[in-house]
C-alpha cells in the first residue's frame, strides 16, 4: 500500500516538493558557508519524494549546539514558510476523504520542514 501511495504522491505534487527541497539545498551548497545547511536539505528532498511508510526519527546526535543554531537560522529564514506550505496543503487535502492520507503525510513533513537538523524520515 505504501508503494501505491508513494507513486500517487509523486504524480500529484510530491515530485515537485522533493525537487524544490533538492534545488534549494543545491543552491545552498554553492557557497562553502551554505554546505552545512544544504546537505541535510537535499536529504530531506529525497525523503520527501516517498513519505509513505516512513516515520520521523530523531538522530542520535540531535540537540547539539550546532544543530540548535542551524535550526534557529533555518526557521527564521526558510522553515516557517515551508511549514505553512505543508499546513496549507494539509487543510486543503483534508477536506476530501480521498485526500486525508496525503494530508497525513504533509502533517508528517511539517516538523521536519520547520526544524530539519537532527531529524530524518526513516
Summarised one tens digit per residue, pLDDT across range 23-53 is 989 998 998 888 888 888 888 888 888 888 8
Task: With a cut of 70, say whether residue 1 has pLDDT above it.
Answer: no
Q: Model confidence over 59-87: pLDDT tens digits?
A: 777 778 888 888 898 899 888 998 998 89
Higher local confidence (pLDDT), 63 or 95: 95
pLDDT for the residue numbered 67: 85
pLDDT higher than threshold 70 for residue 119: yes
Contacts of 101 (CB under 8 A, 6+ apart): 5, 52
Full domain range(s) for residue 23: 2-121
Q: What mean pLDDT comes out for the span 6-16? A: 87
Predicted confidence at residue 29, as pLDDT, reads: 93
Note whether 54 and 121 are within 8 A (CB): yes
Whole-angstrom CA distances from 89 to 17, 24, 26, 32, 34 are 11, 20, 24, 33, 28
Number of domains in the chain: 1
Indicate if the pLDDT at residue 103 is higher than 80. Answer: yes
Amino acid at each position: 500500500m505504501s508503494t501505491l501511495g508513494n507513486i500517487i504522491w509523486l504524480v500529484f505534487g510530491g515530485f515537485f516538493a522533493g525537487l524544490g527541497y533538492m534545488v534549494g539545498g543545491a543552491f545552498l551548497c554553492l557557497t562553502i558557508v551554505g554546505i552545512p545547511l544544504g546537505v541535510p536539505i537535499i536529504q530531506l528532498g529525497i525523503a520527501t519524494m516517498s513519505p509513505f511508510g516512513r516515520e520521523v526519527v530523531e538522530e542520535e546526535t540531535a540537540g547539539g549546539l550546532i544543530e540548535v543554531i542551524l535550526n534557529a537560522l533555518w526557521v527564521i529564514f526558510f522553515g516557517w514558510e515551508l511549514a505553512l506550505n505543508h499546513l496549507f496543503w494539509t487543510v486543503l487535502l483534508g477536506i476530501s476523504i480521498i485526500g486525508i492520507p496525503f494530508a497525513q503525510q504533509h502533517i508528517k513533513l511539517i516538523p521536519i520542514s520547520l526544524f530539519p537538523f537532527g531529524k530524518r524520515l526513516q
